[in-house]
Amino acid sequence: MGDKANAHPGAAGRATAADHPASVRNVVLVGHSGSGKTTLVEALALTAGAVNRAGRVEDGGTVSDYDEIEHRQQRSVQLSLVPVEWDGIKINLLDTPGYADFVGELRAGLRAADAALFVVSAADGVDGSTRMVWEECAAVAMPRAIVVTHLEAARADFEEMTRICAEAFGGDDPDAVLPLYLPLRGPEGPDGHAPVTGLTGLLSRTLFDYSRGRREESQPGEDQLPGLEEARNRLIEGIIAESEDETLMDRYLGGEQIDVKTLVEDLERAVSRGTFFPVLPAAPAADGARQGLGTVELLELVTRGFPTPLEREAPRVTTVDGEPRELKRCDPGGPLVAEVVKTSSDPYVGRVSLVRVFSGTLHPDATVHVSGHGLADRGHEDHDVDERVGALSAPFGKQQRTLTHCIAGDLACVAKLGRAETGDTLSAKDDPLLMEPWQMPDPLLPLAIRAHSKADEDKLSQGLGRLVAEDPTMRLEQNQHTHQVVLWCLGEAHSDVALERLRSRYGVQVDVVPHKVSLRETFAERSAGRGRHVKQSGGHGQYAVCEIEVEPLPGGSGIEFVDKVVGGAVPRQFIPSVEKGVRAQAAKGVAAGHPLVDVRITLLDGKAHSVDSSDAAFQTAGALALREAAADARIHLLEPVAEVSVLVGDDYVGAVMSDLSGRRGRVLGTEQTSGNRTLVRAEVPEIEIGRYAVDLRSLSHGTARFHRVYARHEPMPAQVADKVRQQAQDG
């Protein structure tokens, strides 16, 4: 790796189409918001020669020019790809948002990558959400390394940060998380702070000085050796513990000096297998510098220690009919299987799809089959169509560099796929295949919207369709009961970005309105009502009288209509008219304007006129009878209750249970799970958890997750029901 005495600064350049999977590395950068992921990507691009010293690509723009919303909000909100080249290896750097609302973009990055760089700020430490992503990577044995940034902060302590990382990420084996390099600090400044000017390579006992803008090597002085040797010995023991050579530890403990080349090879294998996780310090280049501190070392770790796409097990593939299909791993000559990991809209190019090819080779202007993707419940229709691929390109900032092809293991942007959405599979049109989709987080924060004007109303449907096509973590709901258009999002930042994209990208202005839950009404007791509709005007009049009885039924029974008329008091042809009238009134509600459910309505008696009775008259009489019965009875408002499951760290269980109780929730039980976490199960009225996605994140410092499913409707407490009725009257 970079820890070699003769390591060169690196010959590099702009990335082109790869010719073999072995010459590709796909790396996702993970870390909390503000940890320095995007800055690190720019520093790596500068060191690799893909950008100039001003951080600009050759044909204009910066490497981080992706979305105007990101510039306004000063944070990443979407997955971005930066391809660079180092020592003949194409490195696809996938920069992910660190904010929890955009975890869907993070999951897409994990799907497209074969290894991960966890970026941790020396000033802020490791947050709970980063630990959870580490566990996700561990579950699929994804190789990982840790990069410590913000070393220039006054309170930054690399050694302490390494200890924290070992504790957070090491699990039962903290010696699997160890530094390969130690920061080298220069003289103290007037403020008493000693800046980091270079690195000390532990295996090679070499100093790498970056103070002059590029890496220069030297040997440590005698005063530097004691601290170096202690860290070096611990690193060697950690590497040997993961070695496949079982005799190596005995030889080392017996006093044998293990060759550095052997240690480096064992280190590379352990990193590639995902059993050893090196820690490296890094910092962006100073003004005028050609290389950022630690960037050469990182690029060499990626090219030599991280696995090639050939070493990754591809996701499960089936035919479109569900029959399993075995494919040779990452074969450029095999059947085409590629996946859309991100969809975006360009105002000039149109829809652009970021694609990871898992098998075969993708060519421009080819016709492919689009299959997918099982998210119809979120407003994403399943696809089974043929489409013609447009140009292939490699993104770099706002620029698109044309590619001649994209082989298995590589990534590319594909233009003009008008139907393909994130998560869809691209395959040969004569051999359509389908990849198992990755897990998408559930959007649990409702955002009710309406068009701001008639002009916006005409564009709203198309704008919403494009919005959800880009983002599979968003769910579009047209609620038939509340008649609201609802965008279900992952959090407030997610909803803010959705509104901004509707406005700026699709030209649709919308108003946010209070979200309504689907309330119901029912009778709390038996009641009777008489409907009399008698009107006389010129010509035929209107005459209908009916008497009904209403009684409550168990929850879930719906509306039951019973005819007990005797003696023809209500002619047979008008009995369906009465039923139609009471059902229409039940749909409108009888107290606060919510649908009436779970009652039996019995028609007992009535009167008719041989000339003036009609279908319309008996419909009106039926509705009047139901309203009169409701006026003389206690009416319950029914609210939807959800079954809520909260997975939370043990430290926050008490706070979560107390909060649920404060929301009129009933805690059903708790269950201990792995990783010092507890599953709390409860039933909570949906009206109380509209903002629970936001509140739970704050309550648990971003470490908890929850899931909800509708359970049933049940009576609302009287004081809450009175408040809802008053709001309905005021509205």
| CATH (domain of 592) | 3.30.230.10
Which pTM value belongs to this model?
Answer: 0.85
Q: Is residue 440 part of a domain?
A: no
Is the dihedral angle over the CA atoms 338, 342, 348, 350 positive or is it negative?
Answer: positive
Please give the pLDDT value at position 497: 92
Residues of the chain scoring pLDDT < 70: 1-14, 52-76, 189, 191-192, 287-289, 346-349, 373-382, 397-398, 538-539, 728, 730-731
Does residue 430 sit within a domain? yes
For residues 146 and 162, what is the distance between their CA atoms, to the nearest angstrom? 9
Q: Could you tell me if 302 and 296 are in contact, meaning their C-beta atoms sit under 8 angstroms apart? A: no
pLDDT at 350: 77
Going by their DSSP bridges, the two strands 411-415 and 475-478 should be labelled as unpaired
Q: Provide the domain limits for residue 461.
A: 446-513
User: Are the C-beta atoms of residues 366 and 386 closer than 8 Å to each other?
Assistant: no
Q: Is residue 4 part of a domain?
A: no
Q: Are residues 73 and 39 in the same domain?
A: yes
> Do the Cβ atoms of 711 and 641 come closer than 8 Å?
yes
Q: What is the pLDDT of residue 33?
A: 87
Whether residue 693 is contained in a domain is answered as: yes
**What is the rounded distance in angstroms from the CA atom of residue 510 to the CA atom of residue 450?**
5
**456 shares a domain with 508:** yes
Tokens, residue 353? 């799809």
Final residue of a structural domain among 403, 435, 467: 435
At residue 364, the pLDDT reads 94
387 and 422 share one domain: yes
Of residues 95, 92, 81, the one with CA closest to residue 30: 95
431: left (phi over 0), alpha (psi -120 to 50) or beta: beta
The answer to whether the CB of 649 falls within 8 A of the CB of 131 is no
178 and 292 within one domain: yes
Q: What is the pLDDT of residue 611?
A: 86
Domain assignment present for 694 = yes
Clarify whether residues 371 and 410 are in a common domain: yes
Residue where a domain terminates, one of 633, 651, 675: 633
In-domain check, residue 659: yes
For position 166, what pLDDT does the model report?
94
| β-strands 350-359, 337-346 pairing | antiparallel
- The residue among 513, 531, 549 that closes a domain is 513
Whole-number Å distance between alpha carbons of 43 and 289: 10
pLDDT confidence of residue 374: 61
- Do 485 and 575 fall within a single domain? no
DSSP string, 528-552: EEEEEEEE--SSS-EEEEEEEEEEE
Q: Clarify whether residues 460 and 539 are in a common domain.
A: no
Count the domains in the chain.
5
Q: Are residues 600 and 661 in the same domain?
A: no
Domain assignment present for residue 674? The answer is yes
Determine the Cα–Cα distance for residues 497 and 97; give it in Å rounded to an integer. Answer: 13
242 in the same domain as 352: no
Going 351 to 352 to 357 to 362, the CA torsion angle's sign is positive
Number of Cβ within 10 Å of residue 321's Cβ equals: 7
Considering the domain architecture, whether residues 629 and 643 belong to the same structural domain is answered as: no
Co-location of 557 and 608 in the same domain: yes
Residue 705 lies in a domain: yes
Look at residue 95 in the predicted model and tell me its pLDDT: 95
Residues 217 and 331 in one domain: no
Report the first-to-last Cα separation within the chain, whole angstroms: 69
